[in-house]
Amino acid sequence: KVLTSLDVAGHEMTHGVTSRTANLTYSGESGGLNESTSDIFGTAVEFYANNASDPADYLIGEKLMKSGTGALRSMIKPSADGASADCWYSGVGALNVHYSSGVANHFFYLLAEGTLGGSPSPTCTVGNTRVATGAGTVAAIGRAKAEKIWYRALTVYMTANTNYAAARQATLSAAADLYGAGSPEVN
């Protein structure tokens, strides 16, 4: 039995980075952002490792599960676990931080991979809460750019009490800093 996995190890180490940068409070929406930041960079570690025995994906902790039984969380469709939120809604901050993290996990997946080319990830639409049902399109900017945007947002714009609305603005500001106002990355 595997006692840890690369994405989970990266996830846990990212909590240290977060505590020394934005120091996102571990409750409410900022707690969800704290957890999703660790999921985002844990996933990034897995992609960078390029380990043939643990192919990179957008699943968190799948190597900890018995073969074929899923993962701790999915960034592609967070709500697949029956508890996580794909979309922001007014009550998302009341969820356990591991479940409210789905909002930013879903954002990151769509930003990096987009919806074109048969993505299994629906977009959020007006009225969606926990489960996304939209058929909108999002152009992918790639993981590397998405990682840089999230890291800059975390280290320059987010603070302890950042909520999802402020995180949206932080990522827009970070994307503009890195790629220019009006760039495809900002759009």
Position 139 confidence tier, pLDDT thresholds 50, 70, 90: very high
Instruction: Answer yes or no: are the C-beta atoms of 174 and 152 closer than 8 Å.
Output: yes
Q: Is 74 helix (H, G, I), strand (E, B) or coil?
A: strand
Is the model's pLDDT at 177 over the cut of 80?
yes
C-alpha dihedral (133, 135, 139, 140), degrees to nearest 10: 40
Q: Are 113 and 85 in contact (CB under 8 A)?
A: no
Residue whose structure tokens are 């969800």: 32
Q: Is the pLDDT of residue 157 over 80?
A: yes
Instruction: Give the pLDDT mean for 93-112.
Output: 98
User: What's the pLDDT band for 1 if we cut at 50, 70, 90?
Assistant: very low
Mean pLDDT of the chain: 94
* Cα-Cα end-to-end distance for the chain: 44
Strand 73-74 relative to strand 59-60, pairing:
antiparallel
Spatial distance between the Cα atoms of 16 and 75, rounded to a whole number of angstroms: 21
Task: Give the residue among 83, 84, 38 at the shortest CA–CA distance from 61.
Answer: 38
Residue 67 has pLDDT above 70, yes or no: no
pLDDT band at residue 85 under the 50/70/90 scheme:
very high
Residues marked active site are found at 12, 98
Q: Is 35 helix (H, G, I), strand (E, B) or coil?
A: helix
**What's the pLDDT at 69?**
62
| Residue with tokens 């844990």, as numbered in its chain | 42
